[in-house]
Chains A and B, each alone.
Chain A
Amino acid sequence: MLSLLFLLFAQCNKCKETVDPPEPETPTQFVFKWNVVFGNNDLVQGQTYNHIDGYRLLLEDFRGYVSNITLYDENDSAHVIQDIALLNWFNDPQLTITADPRTVKRIGFSLGIPASINTNTDPTTYPNSSPLSVGGAAGMFWTWNTGYIFYQLNGKTDLTGSATAPLIDPIAYHCGDDTLFRELIFDVPDVTVFKGQTQTWNFSLDAQKCFWSDADTLHLDTDYLTHTTGNLPLAIRAMNLYASSFQWIP
């Protein structure tokens, strides 16, 4: 009987020796990193910048949804590696996404929320960890009209043009509507990312271009406010400028 018990215990110890947990695999990661600037300067929340029209400009809130973060392989097949993220552009925006290794020849992401999610959505049904939940959206949801604010830029200016007057005139671009969804795709040098490797792509987001570019200029004395509704034309212009402010950095 004792022999049997001994054998039993010995067997169990042997089992323990053979089931050591495997070494965790290093995940394959894809990093999307945005360097946010205002012209030639770093963008800093609460700092004052100069508008091309001569007005001083204080930026207070600068956030946006990015969605359908996508890798295109050598056959140009699209692989969405993350659905949705809400980024605070003041806060060292970066997404680190674990996905299968693959060869990548193009990358892309969209600005806003796809219509399939944006229409008839209910933010209370998402877990708190989701950027689409009431808490996760943190105000980027129209409560009076179902749908999300894709991009929000709030700030203040002084329309007297004085160099010292307090900045009290509000500016607000709240853009969100299915027609304002924008897809960005960037050709990048082909890269094969192997298992366990990390591949980083850098982008620039120039907040200055959210106000003026070669194509358009938002004049702060007239083009200072849109909640999309009530001023859809300005929302379209603001969204187009915002979309044009992203570039891939080689």
Chain B
Amino acid sequence: MDTVIRIAILLFIALVGCQEPTTESCSQKNFRYRFPKHFPKVVLPEDNLPNDCRILLGRKLFYDTRLSQDQTLSCGSCHNLNMAFTDGQKTSKGFHQNSTQRNAPTLFNLAFAPYYLSEGGVKTLELQALAPLLDSVEMKGNPKGISSLLLNDPIIQALSQKAYGRPLDYYVITRALACFQRSMISADTHFDRAHYYEDQPWDSAAYRGWQLFQSNKLHCSECHQPPLFTDYQFYNIGLKNNNDLGKERESYNIQDRGKFKTPTLRNIELTPPYMHDGSIATLEEVIDFYNQGGHTHPENQDPRIKPLHLTAQEKSDLIHFLESLTDWNAVQYERFLPLENRP
């Protein structure tokens, strides 16, 4: 009998432990993100240290279409978990199906970024949220006031008070979204297991690709630096000029024309099409693009972008390596999905 009771208690504890927090049960105690040890350290903003309530509110708001002017778009509309928080579109569809200017980036591992957007003009993850929320082509939220549907939602308001001690406003929205997004960590890939954790043998083709990736022949890892596979710097890689100024938009320096922040390669397999303009459809075509030395941007092309003379085997190995950067667990975590009909 004792054994049965013990098992029942253990089961109860396990079930309660696994339950996700609700508005009533969420904790206001500081929460520790599970940042991988081989990732850089993160300095969290003092005014937005995470806790269960803040992350829960951010998760609710992330999928809440009431943040957009016509109540049809949420952050999750263009950032789908199963595509590593991208949308598969060349450029995303915003307000009234208008095309935005750029391809939706992955949201995984944003906690480690020193600045945001392709030209790096936004300094915090909190402020970044204002860009899609208020942009007239994206969600077209009203800067003068948040939707009354949202303001009159008792659950959202209760959670806002619990999380930040104030009614819902843009301060709360931007901070809650940032707390939720910082929880989007992805570091459980074949590459991590084989290279960092060493608890899984390398796939031989992926390993050959990894060697090639960091070789002096290709120089890929100079910009796509592990472990995050980005250096957060800005380069013109020789894409065709589509009138997007890139970094020049922020710096006013013509030498920055067509330069964009190095994107991470983690989960790259799940995030086609590629490049800031979504102009390249597949990973194979991306390899071909670099192999031919870019498309010859008329200005500022980085001198390292030049023909690579890759063999078919080398291309295949590179693809295998890039596919080893996919975190199949992270893209299935329930804690990143919408909370449907929950208190």
A binding-site residues for B, Cβ under 8 Å: 120, 122-125, 128, 133-135, 137-139, 141-146, 177, 229-230, 232
Contacts and interface: CB of A to CB of B under 8 A. Distances in A.
A72 B248 CA distance: 40
Given A120-B123, A128-B169, A229-B245, A144 B131 contact: yes
B245 A143 contact: no
B143 A144 contact: no
Contacts of B123: 120, 146
Interface stretch (B89-97, B114-122, B197-205, B306-314): B114-122
Interface in B129-156: 130-131, 133-135, 143-145
Contact of B143 (A120, A134, A230, A232): A134
A145 B126 contact: no
B124 interface: yes
Contacts of B169: 124, 128
Interface in B96-132: 117, 119, 121-124, 126-127, 130-131
A83 to B, nearest CB: 20
A143 B119 contact: no
Q: Is the interface of A mostly helix, strand, loop or mixed?
A: loop
A138 B144 contact: yes
Interface of B: 117, 119, 121-124, 126-127, 130-131, 133-135, 143-145, 169-171, 174-175, 245, 248-250, 252
B121 A124 contact: no
A120 B122 CA distance: 9
B124 A122 contact: yes
B252 A229 contact: yes
Given A134-B170, A230-B249, A124 B143 contact: no
Contacts of B252: 177, 229, 232
A182 to B, nearest CB: 18
B143 A135 contact: yes
23 contacts: A123-B130, A124-B127, A134-B130, A134-B134, A134-B143, A135-B144, A138-B144, A139-B143, A141-B130, A143-B134, A144-B119, A144-B122, A144-B135, A145-B119, A145-B122, A145-B250, A146-B121, A146-B122, A146-B127, A177-B252, A229-B245, A229-B250, A232-B252
Contacts of B143: 134-135, 137-139, 141
Contact of B171 (A124, A143, A145): A124
A203 to B, nearest CB: 27
A2 B169 CA distance: 59
A135 B146 CA distance: 9
Given A122-B124, A122-B126, A124-B126, A144 B245 contact: no
Contacts, number: 66
Contact of B249 (A141, A143, A145, A177): A145
A149 to B, nearest CB: 12
Contacts of A232: 252
Given A125-B171, A144-B121, 13 more contacts: A124-B126, A124-B169, A124-B174, A133-B170, A134-B143, A135-B143, A135-B144, A138-B143, A139-B134, A139-B143, A144-B117, A229-B248, A229-B249
A230 B252 CA distance: 7
Given A124-B170, A128-B169, A134-B170, A143 B130 contact: yes
A189 B171 CA distance: 46
B205 to A, nearest CB: 40
B131 A143 contact: yes
Please list the 4 inter-chain residue pairs (A to B) with the smallest Cβ-Cβ separation, ordered nearest first.
Answer: A145-B121, A124-B171, A143-B131, A134-B170
A141 B245 CA distance: 20
Contacts of B144: 135, 138
Nearest to B118: A144
Contacts of A120: 123
Nearest to B138: A143
Contacts of B130: 123-124, 134, 141, 143
Interface centre among B127, B134, B135, B169 (most CB of A within 10 A): B127
Nearest to A233: B252
Contacts of A138: 143-144
Contacts of B117: 144-145
Contacts of B121: 142, 144-146
Contacts of A141: 130, 143
Contacts of B126: 122, 124
Contacts of B171: 124-125
B158 to A, nearest CB: 21
A230 B135 contact: no
A49 to B, nearest CB: 26
Interface centre among B133, B170, B245 (most CB of A within 10 A): B170
Contacts of B245: 229-230
A232 to B, nearest CB: 5
B250 A135 contact: no
A138 B144 CA distance: 6
